[in-house]
Amino acid sequence: MTWGKIVVVAAAAALLVAIGFASVSFLQPAESLEAIPGQWTEAGHADTTSLSFTYWDDDDPPVIPVGCAQCHSLYGFLDYLGLDGKTPGQVDEPAHIGSVIYCYACHNDAAQTRTSVVFPGGAEVTRLGWESMCLSCHYGRQSTVSVNEATAGVEADTVSEELSFLNVHYGVAAATQYGSEVAVGYQYPERVYVERYRHVENWETCIDCHNAHSTQISVEDCAACHANVVEYDDIYAIREATTDYDGDGDVQKGIKAEIETFHTTLYDAILAYADDVVGVPMIYADQFPYWFSVDPETDGEPDLSELGFADRYQSWTPRLLRAAYNYQFVKKDPGAFTHNPEYALQVLYDSMEDLAERVPVAMDAYTRP
């Protein structure tokens, strides 16, 4: 254990005692207070072995760069909150390695009194409660603004060496939830997108559904209103919307499955476009940098473990980049079906429709929310 870690753990213990004394009277039953450290330990936030917290350990010098520290270290998050004595809302210094999201990251005055958060792309969300802390790390790293900047001045179907894949990043739940209010999904011009998904009263914010410490959701909560939910996996079968978005005649299956049809169809359209319009085949693999220049017809089934940065796809056109961006946006929010199902369907639909100008996509079957 480093000195930094010892200090943080000691501070966390002291904090627990402090909040414990302050709030034990209104936390019922009292056991739930004792359960908190255990719940936190279960969460990815506390996983000292995760790539999220070890990725920079072998760098020289071993520090977390300014662009990454906000979400991948206690120190970076405190710097972002302004607790380093400098401007709030930005990270000023690279951060020490060796931390996770300790109690103090969320339990300090700055985190608990903040009511607004500025998303990538510049949109500000206001009137927030404690969920503001979740937003700042789960809002992604790109947006409509950065995709438009990257593709400005290039014709839709022109391959440009200047273009490379823009990865929205991971766990982008807040970006999906706030929809068009923050435009982190790629939004096509002259299209209208849904705003924040409000779901239902008292089940709106991150911490209404996710336990703030374990980050888990309890399906018993969902079962109170969604009669189909008995076991955990039944959440994927929740369905309220009555529109048959994917046109297969089934409006009983989970909304997640409707999103998946759009997602798979978009993937096929992306591959067809790369093949037929660009003339350079591509595939997606769920590993950095995601889009690879591989021709399954001549190269056979690719060995994913052999694919590296050198094999990355390099023949981007603006049309292809926008569609691939949205494919990844939905892929990297596994909870999109509950964070904002209509927004996910809209950005996928519009990407399919845009590609349909150049390759066959059976758009007639599909309905845009």
Residues 5-34 that bind ligand HEC (CB under 6 A): 12, 16, 19-20, 23, 27, 33
Choose which of 45, 114, 319, 322 interacts with ligand HEC (CB under 6 A).
Answer: 45
Q: Which of 15, 195, 199 is CA-nearest to residue 109?
A: 15
CB-nearest residue to ligand HEC: 44
Angle at the Cα of 162 (from 159 to 166), degrees rounded to 5?
Answer: 95
Q: Which of 95, 94, 136 is CA-nearest to residue 8?
A: 95
Choose which of 78, 95, 184, 235 interacts with ligand HEC (CB under 6 A).
Answer: 235
Choose which of 4, 5, 35, 52 interacts with ligand HEC (CB under 6 A).
Answer: 52
Q: Is 212 in the site for ligand HEC (CB under 6 A)?
A: yes
Residue 128 — φ and ψ, nearest 5°? -95, 155
Q: Is 37 in the site for ligand HEC (CB under 6 A)?
A: yes
Q: Nearest approach, Cβ of 109 to ligand HEC (angstroms)?
A: 12
Task: Name the segment binding ligand HEC (CB under 6 A); options: 143-151, 180-188, 196-204, 295-303.
Answer: 196-204
Q: Nearest approach, Cβ of 362 to ligand HEC (angstroms)?
A: 22
Count CB neighbours of 343 within 10 A. Answer: 28
Angle at the Cα of 292 (from 358 to 281), degrees rounded to 5?
Answer: 40
Scan for tokens 């079968």, then name that residue: 237
Choose which of 226, 312, 331, 368 interacts with ligand HEC (CB under 6 A).
Answer: 226
Q: Which residues contact 61 (CB under 8 A, 6 or more apart)?
A: none
Q: Is 200 in the site for ligand HEC (CB under 6 A)?
A: yes
Q: What span, in angstroms and rounded, lies between the C-alpha atoms of 284 and 288? A: 10
Q: Is 83 in the site for ligand HEC (CB under 6 A)?
A: no
Choose which of 239, 263, 322, 358 interacts with ligand HEC (CB under 6 A).
Answer: 239
Q: What span, in angstroms and rounded, lies between the C-alpha atoms of 193 and 93? A: 37
* Minimum CB distance to ligand HEC smaller for 96 or for 239: 239
Choose which of 123, 150, 163, 238 interacts with ligand HEC (CB under 6 A).
Answer: 238
Q: Nearest approach, Cβ of 293 to ligand HEC (angstroms)?
A: 21
Q: What span, in angstroms and rounded, lies between the C-alpha atoms of 367 and 332? A: 23
Choose which of 7, 17, 44, 304 interacts with ligand HEC (CB under 6 A).
Answer: 44
Choose which of 3, 21, 31, 51 interacts with ligand HEC (CB under 6 A).
Answer: 51
Q: Nearest approach, Cβ of 232 to ligand HEC (angstroms)?
A: 7
Stretch 289-318: interaction string toward ligand HEC, x if CB under 6 A: ------------------------------
* Minimum CB distance to ligand HEC smaller for 79 or for 350: 79
Q: Which residues of 179-209 are buried (b: 16+ CB within 10 A; e: fewer)?
A: bbebbbbbbbeeeebbebbebeeeeebbeeb
Q: Nearest approach, Cβ of 88 to ligand HEC (angstroms)?
A: 14
The burial class, CB within 10 Å (0-12 / 13-18 / 19+), for 10 is exposed
* Minimum CB distance to ligand HEC smaller for 59 or for 276: 59
Q: Is 225 in the site for ligand HEC (CB under 6 A)?
A: yes
Number of chain residues interacting with ligand HEC (CB under 6 A): 75
Q: What span, in angstroms and rounded, lies between the C-alpha atoms of 285 and 145? A: 26
Q: Which of 359, 160, 335 is CA-nearest to residue 254?
A: 335
Q: Nearest approach, Cβ of 215 to ligand HEC (angstroms)?
A: 4
Side chain identity at residue 318, one-letter code: P
Q: Which of 351, 323, 329, 349 is CA-nearest to residue 175?
A: 329
Q: Is 352 in the site for ligand HEC (CB under 6 A)?
A: no
Q: Is 134 in the site for ligand HEC (CB under 6 A)?
A: yes
The burial class, CB within 10 Å (0-12 / 13-18 / 19+), for 318 is buried
**Among residue numbers 246 through 275, which ones bind ligand HEC (CB under 6 A)?**
255
Side chain identity at residue 255, one-letter code: I
**Among residue numbers 94 through 133, which ones bind ligand HEC (CB under 6 A)?**
101, 103, 105-107, 130-131, 133
